[in-house]
Every structure is written in structure tokens, then in C-alpha cells.
Structure 1
Amino acid sequence: MPRVFNQKIKILYLMRVFLEQTDEEHPMSVKELITYLNNLGISAERKTVYDDIETLRNFGMDILNRREKPAGFYLASREFELPELKLLVDAVQSSRFITSRKSRQLIGKLESLASVYEARQLRRQVFVENRIRTMNESVYYSIDEIQRALNEDRQISFQYCEWTVEKELRLKKNGERYLVSPWGLVWQNENYYLVAYDEKCEKVKHYRVDKILQIQIENQPRDGKEIFKNYDTGELTSRTFGMFGGREETICLEAHNRLVGVVLDRFGRDIMIHRKDSEHFKTLIRVNVSGQFFGWIASLGPDAVIASPEEVREEYREFLEKSLSNYK
């Protein structure tokens, strides 16, 4: 390469070696930096290397000179610190909706944000009890298309799947395409859900993104603006159990004081808690009444009671009786 070009590209290679090969425990001396450049066919002198390091510092790179052994220059701070990268790697590895292959790819990209030495610490296995990974890699494409439709204020269409007893995904409605207006993505129970308005049914519906196939952005503008004008997605996730639908109801829940943490974790700290007596509290919560909600109540045992409305109490009694009938 021409000498002038070599000098122009030299500082870029120095930037790369600081990013990839150095940290506090692995600095590089000027002599080692010159050798590194010479191996790339780039001639360098001590003075020009010092000048380039100063230019990189002025550019914003936190390059320090370690005096004690091992001595040399190293990149002291990065966009992501090692504990932050470990946290991200753990999140990727423990996520059910990310396939094993995609998980390895993402972790490889996260490793590139650390030095080669720190990257070794990111190659660890996180074990999550009962984790089942999705096999549908189109989820990434679907999320991207949904976000684009949200930004462009347009409807989407797609095919939707369900699992069969043979453990195979089967198209619902014989492959008929669903046409909805997307209004958000919700992360719940380790899955992504599309929150959308179905104009045909005039309802807000939820769809598991990993069960969406052949998504397409349509030309029609989104419907449901009035419904979603003051829609609180965070509140939706607290009152919807397993993202199953159901009619909205305000429930008076009475429970033992030991369950107050469970209720606050589920519905947030903004709900009003009142003492019923020295050992029990009561609260009003907005929920979508469904079998999943009744299952959650049942999991709390006899220490939690639906106090009102009576209609929901009756539905819960029927739910328990039908469940109990399976064991007679």
C-alpha cells in the first residue's frame, strides 16, 4: 500500500487493537503497538504512535498508561462495562423466545464489545429451570415489521399458528390471514405479545409473536386510535393473566397480609391497600376475568378470597367445581 494511505489507516488499526486486545490487565507497550502495525505492513515510529494515542484520547477514547507491571497503554472504559455485558448475556441465554442458534449469534456480538480477554468471561452457561426455547426464528423479522408498522401508522396482516397434540405448529383458520392494527409489543411470561385492534370484532386482542408467520405491512392506516389514546400497556400486563383475554372487571380481593407482596408484584404499587383486620387486607384491582385469572387466585390458596362482585364469585365457584369434578 502507498505510504500515505498506510499513515491514514494506521490510527484506525490502533483504535481497533485498543478495543479488541487491551484492558487493565492486558496493556500494550509502544514497542508492541509498533510490532502489531508492522505485521500489518504499516511502518510506524514511537513519536507518531504517541501522537496517534493522543489523537484517540482527544476523540474520546479513555486510553490510560499503566506504569506498574504489566506496563503499557490500554482502553480503560468502554460503552458497556463487563458487568453490564454479563447481565445482557444472561438475559439472552435465559430468554425462551430466542432460539439457541440466534442466542449464540447475539452473544458473539456482545463479546465483540469487550476485549478478547474479557469476552472469555462472557462464555458461560446460564441454567434456567424448565426453559423451553422457541424454534421460530421469524420472530425477529416479525418484531421488526411490527415496529415499522407502528412507526408508519399502518395495519398488518399475518397468518397465526397454534400447537397440536403432535407438537407441531398448525395454521389457524386454515391459513386465513389476520388483518389488525398494531398498537404495541408487550413482554410477559418470557414471550413477546402483539397488542392490536381487530376492527372486524371491535376488540383489543393479543397475539404471541413467535406464532405469527408471513407478516406483511398493509397500506390501510391503523384503526382504534380513540381506544388507544389513553391506553396503559403497563396496566394491561398487570391485569391480563397469561395474555388471555376476558371481560374487564373491578375485583375486590381480600387476602392474608403475607400475600401483600404477591399482589403488589402483580398489580404494581399504585393500587390502594386497606386493612380489613389485623391479619388481612383488601384491595380493588382491575383484571380480565378468565380461567387464567381464576388459576392465579387458586394458586394463592385459602388465604385469598374474591369478595365481590358476586357474579365473578359465582364464576369462580363453577371453575373450582369443574376442576374438582376431574378428580372424583
Structure 2
Amino acid sequence: MPKGTNQKFKLYRLAQIMLERTDDDHYITMPEIMSALGEYEITAERKSIYNDLHDLEVLGIEVEGEPVGNRYHYHVVNRPFELPELKLLVDAIQSSKFITERKSNALIKKLEKLVSRYDAMKLQRQVYVSGRIKTMNESIYYTVDAIHNAISENRKIRFQYFQWNVKKEMELRRGGAYYHISPWGLSWDAENYYLIGYDSDAGQVRHYRVDKMLHIQMSDDSREGREYFKKLDMADYTRKSFGMFGGKEQKVKLLVEDRFAGVIIDRFGKDVMFIPSDEDHFTVNVDVRVSSQFFGWVFSLGGGVKILSPDEVTEQMREEIRKIAGQYERPGIDKSDF
């Protein structure tokens, strides 16, 4: 049999054919394998292909042959990722606010290469999330990578930080001055990605939206704040910070309607103790960073959750309600009613 013009690529093309055209539900016969190789101008005898299929296992590609009638059907088994696992990854990428639409599509295309062409079609799914607005900062991937590199090398980072103004323009905070922060971790909360780091000048743990960081650079200075982060549980810090808004950490006692038990567990976990109060309510003591976001969370639950103590926090809640009510005040209404 005359050799084709691309014989040196035979094993590579065979691997490509098996990975793209077979899976648990789709098989390929020996004549079909030979025909597929021919599409790449590669010729091969059956015996050499049998040997090549065995050699693919050395590359981590396990091919199984099953007798069907008078022929064998071949397909790839035991891929690194199962289809349901990749579907979860696709859903996470599509629903992530901090990943741009263009990058979402590019990442999903790469995931499709991990399965056959048939399963790849099943990954082309659209996840619709109410109010989803994708970030417009394409550099977030390189920012995240730079943060991880700085953490692994125990270095500080420098970056500029921006906010959007009423003209829909990026406006650098601190007049464009660079922030000099010791990075200690990353957190995904409230649909956004945050850097959690130590600000040496302020002597505080602070967090920053990764998609609002610009021109990140690794510093020559070693990180500071290790003693703070030895005591800090990152997951616990995130749970206490509503929407990653800072605030004074306090133990707050809540009166909760029984029907909101699931809401409390989703927010604070199953370890919090529910203390029955009456037939329809229970109380719970939780540690939170008290902020306007926390009050907004309580307010969003209507009469289902009430802050009982401490008095300082209940008074802050009353003040928040008064401020909001004042924005909708009509002539003739006495503010003391609120």
C-alpha cells in the first residue's frame, strides 16, 4: 500500500479521530478509521492501526473495542472529565458576571475539545440568569494570574482602582494613585471576584473587586499582615460580609419566622443554633459585618426577620429605614411616624 504524504502525523491524527468521533454512545469501525485517516492523506494497514490504538494508551487515551456482528466497534473510554462535570463548568462560566461574553465563549470552546463532537453539541447550552450583566474588563484573567503569582512568591502588588461615574466612564480612585496591597486570597461572592489583602498603611484587611483593578504589578516588597491572616477564616470572612461590604463585626440576634429557616441556613450555614421563640418563630445569634448591605438583606425579607439586639444595631436599622422613608416623604406626613 503506498504511503500517504502525512504519515509522520499518523498517531496524532488517529488520536484526534478517536477523541472527536467516538464516545460512550458513538463508535467507529476499522474501515471507518482507515477512511478518516485518508481524509488527512494518511494510509495505514489494519495491523499497524491495531498497534497504534494500543499505543494511544501510553498517551492516556484508552480505546475499547467491542465485537458487533462480524466487526469490531471502537470508542474512547474514561475521559478526564465526564459530560455532566463539563456541563457544570459551562453553566458556571456562562452565569459568571465577572467573565466577559467573549471570554465565556472562548473558554467553552476549549472545554468542547475535551469531549467528542457529539457531546460538544450538548455543551452549547445557554444559561439565562435574571439581570445578568457581564463585566467589560477583559484583563481580569491576567489580573487573577498576577495575584496568584504574587501570593506564591510572597510579594505585594501595586494596582490602580476605578469606579464608574455618571458619564459611564472609568474614573480612577485616589486620583490615579497606586494601591500597595499584600494579597492573601481571592473570593467569589455576590457574583463578583474579590481580592482579599492587607493594607499596611491602614493596618486593615480589605477587599477589592478584581474587575475594577487596572495595571497590576508585582512589587519587590514582601507581603505583610501574615499574623492577621493566620487568624482569618476566608470563608467565614466572606459569609459575614454582605456583598463584601465592610463594617464593624458584631454578634446580632435575629427573630426569624420558621418559613425563613432555609434562608438563614443558606446564609450562615447549618452550624448556627435555632432557638424556638414561639409557634412560628425562632431566634438565632449570628456574627456579621454590620453595613447598609446587611440592613438591605434584612429589609428584603420583609417582616420575616427582625433584629433584636444589640441596641446599637437596631437603632442603625431604624435610621436606615428613616433615611429611605425620607426619600419618599410626602407633604403632611410626620417623620416621627417612622
**If the length of structure 1 is used for normalisation, what is the TM-score?**
0.93
Q: Distance in 1 between matches of 2:114 and 2:59?
A: 18
**Which position in structure 1 is the counterpart of 2:46?**
46
Q: Distance in 2 between matches of 1:214 and 1:272?
A: 45
Shift of 1:58: 6.1
Deviates more, 1:159-168 or 1:136-145: 159-168
Instruction: Please give the secondary structure, in 1, of the residue aligned with 2:120.
Output: helix
**Which position in structure 2 is the counterpart of 1:233?**
234
**Which position in structure 2 is the counterpart of 1:122?**
123
**Which position in structure 2 is the counterpart of 1:35?**
35
**Among the aligned pairs, what percent are the same residue?**
47
Q: How many residues align?
A: 327
**Which position in structure 1 is the counterpart of 2:89?**
88
Instruction: Please give the secondary structure, in 1, of the residue aligned with 2:137.
Output: coil
**Which position in structure 2 is the counterpart of 1:263?**
264
**Which position in structure 2 is the counterpart of 1:181?**
182
Instruction: Please give the secondary structure, in 2, of the residue aligned with 1:242.
Output: helix
Shift of 1:14: 1.6
Contact map agreement 1:95 1:190 (CA 8 A) in 2: yes
Deviates more, 1:31-40 or 1:16-25: 31-40
- Provide Cα deviations, 1:171-197, integer angstroms capped at 9, x if missing partner: 111111011111110001111011111
Q: Distance in 1 between matches of 2:224 and 2:58?
A: 51
Q: Distance in 2 between matches of 1:19 and 1:64?
A: 12
Instruction: Please give the secondary structure, in 1, of the residue aligned with 2:244.
Output: coil
Shift of 1:59: 5.5
Contact map agreement 1:238 1:268 (CA 8 A) in 2: no
Shift of 1:43: 3.1
Q: Distance in 1 between matches of 2:53 and 2:160?
A: 55
In structure 2, relative to structure 1, the CA distance for the partners of 1:252 and 1:115 (3 Å cut) is: same
Which aligned pairs between 1:1-328 and structure 2 lie closer than 5 A? 9-57=9-57, 60-68=60-68, 72-328=73-329
Contact map agreement 2:258 2:282 (CA 8 A) in 1: yes
- In structure 1, stretches of 5+ residues that fail to align are none
Q: Distance in 2 between matches of 1:138 and 1:193?
A: 14
Q: Distance in 1 between matches of 2:92 and 2:319?
A: 40
Contact map agreement 2:95 2:127 (CA 8 A) in 1: yes
Instruction: Please give the secondary structure, in 2, of the residue aligned with 1:167.
Output: coil
- Provide Cα deviations, 1:219-267, integer angstroms capped at 9, x if missing partner: 1111111110021111111110111111111111121111111111101
- Provide Cα deviations, 1:274-328, integer angstroms capped at 9, x if missing partner: 1122321111111111111111111122232211111111111111111111111
One-letter amino acid of the structure 1 residue matched with residue 21 of structure 2: Q
Instruction: Please give the secondary structure, in 1, of the residue aligned with 2:271.
Output: coil
Q: Please give the root-mean-square deviation of Cα atoms over the aligned residues, in Å.
A: 2.2
Q: Distance in 2 between matches of 1:90 and 1:157?
A: 33
Contact map agreement 1:250 1:286 (CA 8 A) in 2: yes
**Which position in structure 1 is the counterpart of 2:333?**
none
Q: Distance in 2 between matches of 1:302 and 1:210?
A: 36
Q: Distance in 1 between matches of 2:295 and 2:141?
A: 33
Contact map agreement 1:27 1:66 (CA 8 A) in 2: no
Q: Distance in 2 between matches of 1:9 and 1:232?
A: 52
Shift of 1:22: 1.6
Contact map agreement 2:6 2:40 (CA 8 A) in 1: no
Contact map agreement 1:86 1:122 (CA 8 A) in 2: yes
Contact map agreement 1:27 1:71 (CA 8 A) in 2: no
